[in-house]
Amino acid sequence: MEYKYNSKCERDTIELAENIEAEKFPGMVICLNGELGSGKTVFTKGLAAALGIDDTITSPTFNIIKEYHDGEMPLYHMDIYRLEGNIESTGILDYFNLDGIVIIEWANMIEDYLPDERLDIYFKVVEENRRIIKIIPHGKQYEDLCEDAL
């Protein structure tokens, strides 16, 4: 199953993230894909705020992974763009077994390493402030999440 969400502004993208956060569960993996400036980090900011994380959320492009532990559950925010798919020695795979939420920007670059059960979200810019967001759940838990959140 595939879902489409029409975001007319940043607030719409944040609301989508809040709806998904409301259905969160430990070990959740969210894979974000889309061109630069398409809304991946805006989505992450919305989800982090809904978790109660007060830190400023920025894309971890140069850090690769940023961890936030002051919310309802840990958030592990990754940006693997600079890794160019070479993740064997990074420890990223270990995060898939933790009880927090993992968000991966540019996840399509490591598709072969992603868990079978996950939530894929694709951002497409169609106008300056408008995005079409395609959401694809992989696994029953993610299908249920989409049914409840969307």
Mean pLDDT of 63-69: 90
Characterize the bridge pairing of strands 131-138 and 3-7: antiparallel
138 or 110: which carries more pLDDT confidence?
138
| CATH 3.40.50.300 applies to domain 3-149 | yes
pLDDT class of 85 with cuts at 50, 70, 90: low
Confidence category of residue 90, pLDDT binned at 50, 70, 90: confident
* For residue 2, pLDDT beyond 80: yes
> Does pLDDT of 120 surpass 60?
yes
Q: How far from 59 is each of 3, 78, 130, CA to CA, in Å?
A: 25, 8, 21
pTM of the entire structure?
0.94
Q: Give the Å distances, CA to CA, from 94 to 88, 99, 132.
A: 10, 11, 31
Residue range 27-59, pLDDT digits in tens: 999 999 999 889 999 999 999 999 999 999 988
Domain ranges of the chain: 3-149
Q: What is the pLDDT of residue 84?
A: 65
